[in-house]
Amino acid sequence: MRPNEILIKPILTEKANAQQEKLRRYAFRVDRKANKLEIKKAVETFYGVTVVDVNTSVVPGKVKSRFTKSGFLTGMKGAYKKAMVTVAEGESIDLYANI
């Protein structure tokens, strides 16, 4: 897999931003089949940083429902894999550069 196939998008939440500032840890939504070594290589080639550690977790899907004019609609929010990537000291990733 190529780096752009493994890394789907960065996760930009308050919790993820707090970890970026304190722990140099960045969150990414990644392909479900990607392993830690592939994720490490993809981040290093795509962003040009040294990766120290990679933690992964699979976020389970949720049942979502809402009430509309036509009645009660129920659907499923899909599961995805999340990777928490820690970069070397003194390095950082500018996630807002491509906006």
pLDDT in tens, 10-60: 999 999 999 999 999 999 999 999 999 999 999 999 999 999 999 999 999
pLDDT at 96 over 70: yes
Domain residues for the domain of 30 are: 3-87
What is the pLDDT, as a whole number, of residue 99?
Answer: 59
**Predicted confidence band at 6 (pLDDT cuts at 50, 70, 90)?**
very high
Q: State pLDDT tens for residues 78-91.
A: 999 999 999 999 99
Q: Is residue 92 part of a domain?
A: no
Does residue 99 fall inside a structural domain? no
- The answer to whether residue 98 is domain-embedded is no
Q: How many domains does the chain have?
A: 1
Q: Do the domain assignments include residue 97?
A: no
96, part of any domain: no
Is residue 93, in this structure, part of any structural domain at all?
no
Question: The domain spanning residue 54 has which CATH number?
Answer: 3.30.70.330
What is the residue whose two structure tokens read 């993809």? 42
Mean pLDDT, range 53-73, rounded to an integer: 94
What's the predicted TM-score (pTM) here?
0.86
> Is the pLDDT confidence value at 7 over 90?
yes
